[in-house]
Amino acid sequence: MADTATHGSQGSSNPWQGEILSSDRPYRMLIDGEFVEGEAGETLACEYPFTGETWGSFPVATVGDVDRAVRAARKAFDNGWSRTTASHRAALLRRLADLLEGTADDIARLEIHQNGKTLAETSFEVPYSQMVAHYSAGLIEADHGHTVNSMLPDVVAYTVREPLGVVVTITPWNGPLGSLAQKLFPALAAGNTVVVKPSEVTPAETLWLGEKIMEAGFPAGVVNIVNGPGATVGRALVAHPLVEHVSFTGSTATGLEIAQVCAARAATSSMELGGKSPNIVFDSADLDRAISGVMTGIFSASGQSCAAGSRILVQDSIGDDFFEALATRIRALRLGDPLDPATQISPVASRAQLAKVLGYIELAQKEGATTLVGGGRASAPGLTEGFFVEPTIFTGVTNDATVSREEIFGPVGAVIRFKDEDDAVRIANDTQYGLAAGIWTENVALAHRMTKRVHAGLVWVNNYRLGELVIPWGGYGATGGSREMGIEALRDYQGTKAIYIDLGSPLPF
Is residue 297 part of the contact set for ligand NDP (CB under 6 A)?
no
Among positions 258, 271, 280, 439, the unique one binding ligand NDP when judged by CB under 6 A: 258
Residue 25 CA: distances (Å) to CA of 17, 18, 28, 317, 492: 10, 11, 10, 58, 35
Q: Is 272 a catalytic residue?
A: yes
Q: What is the 3-state secondary structure (H, E, C) of 432-447?
A: CEECEEEEECCCHHHH
Residue 337 CA: distances (Å) to CA of 49, 113, 246, 383: 10, 11, 36, 8
Helix (H, G, I), strand (E, B) or coil at 29: strand
Residue 100 · residue 130 · CB < 8 Å: yes
- Output the smallest distance, CB 192 to ligand NDP, in A: 19
Give the gyration radius of the chain's Cα atoms.
Answer: 24
Is residue 112 part of the contact set for ligand NDP (CB under 6 A)?
no
Is residue 107 part of the contact set for ligand NDP (CB under 6 A)?
no
Residues 470-499 that bind ligand NDP (CB under 6 A): none
Interface mask toward ligand NDP for 47-76; x: CB under 6 A: ------------------------------
Among positions 3, 65, 106, 407, the unique one binding ligand NDP when judged by CB under 6 A: 407
Is residue 356 part of the contact set for ligand NDP (CB under 6 A)?
yes
Using the rule CB under 6 A, give the single segment among 185-193, 198-206, 423-431, 490-498 that binds ligand NDP. 198-206
Q: What is the torsion angle, in degrees rounded to the nearest 10, for the CA atoms of residue 67, residue 70, residue 75 and residue 78?
A: -140
> How many residues line the site for ligand NDP (CB under 6 A)?
28
Which residue lies nearer to ligand NDP by CB, 93 or 354? 354
Among positions 250, 303, 438, 457, the unique one binding ligand NDP when judged by CB under 6 A: 250
Is residue 172 part of the contact set for ligand NDP (CB under 6 A)?
yes
Alpha helices in 32-78 (DSSP H): 63-78
Comparing every residue's Cβ against ligand NDP, the nearest one is: 230
Among positions 38, 49, 186, 230, the unique one binding ligand NDP when judged by CB under 6 A: 230
Helices (H) and strands (E) in the chain, counts: 15, 21
What is the per-residue burial (b if ≥16 Cβ within 10 Å, else e) of 268-303?
bbbbbbbbbbbbbbbbbbebeebbebbbbbbbbbbb
Catalytic residue among 46, 205, 306, 390: 306
Q: For residue 428, give every residue at least 6 positions away whose Cβ sits within 8 Å of its Cβ, in sequence order, or none.
A: 278, 280, 311, 313, 437, 454, 455, 456
Q: Is 306 a catalytic residue?
A: yes
Using the rule CB under 6 A, give the single segment among 125-133, 166-174, 291-299, 337-345 that binds ligand NDP. 166-174
Residue 191 · residue 82 · CB < 8 Å: yes
Nearest by Cα to 375 from 429, 401, 414, 427 = 414
Using the rule CB under 6 A, give the single segment among 106-114, 164-172, 293-301, 489-497 that binds ligand NDP. 164-172
Is residue 353 part of the contact set for ligand NDP (CB under 6 A)?
yes
- Output the smallest distance, CB 484 to ligand NDP, in A: 11
Residue 298 · residue 390 · CB < 8 Å: no
- Output the smallest distance, CB 463 to ligand NDP, in A: 20
Using the rule CB under 6 A, give the single segment among 165-173, 282-290, 310-318, 365-373 that binds ligand NDP. 165-173
Helix (H, G, I), strand (E, B) or coil at 280: strand
Nearest by Cα to 167 from 61, 81, 62 = 81
Q: For residue 420, give every residue at least 6 positions away whose Cβ sits within 8 Å of its Cβ, in sequence order, or none.
A: 315
Interface mask toward ligand NDP for 268-287; x: CB under 6 A: -----xx-------------
Among positions 122, 174, 346, 395, the unique one binding ligand NDP when judged by CB under 6 A: 174
Among positions 50, 218, 409, 464, the unique one binding ligand NDP when judged by CB under 6 A: 409
Catalytic residue among 125, 200, 272, 407: 272
Positions of E strands within 82-165 = 147-148, 155-163
- Output the smallest distance, CB 25 to ligand NDP, in A: 20
Using the rule CB under 6 A, give the single segment among 56-64, 171-179, 383-391, 500-508 that binds ligand NDP. 171-179
**What is the distance between the alpha carbons of residues 309 and 303, in angstroms, rounded to a whole number?**
8
- Output the smallest distance, CB 56 to ligand NDP, in A: 15
Which residue lies nearer to ligand NDP by CB, 340 or 484? 484
Residues catalogued as catalytic = 272, 306
Q: Residues interacting with ligand NDP, by CB under 6 A?
A: 170-174, 197, 199-201, 229-231, 234-235, 238, 249-251, 254, 257-258, 273-274, 306, 353, 356, 407, 409
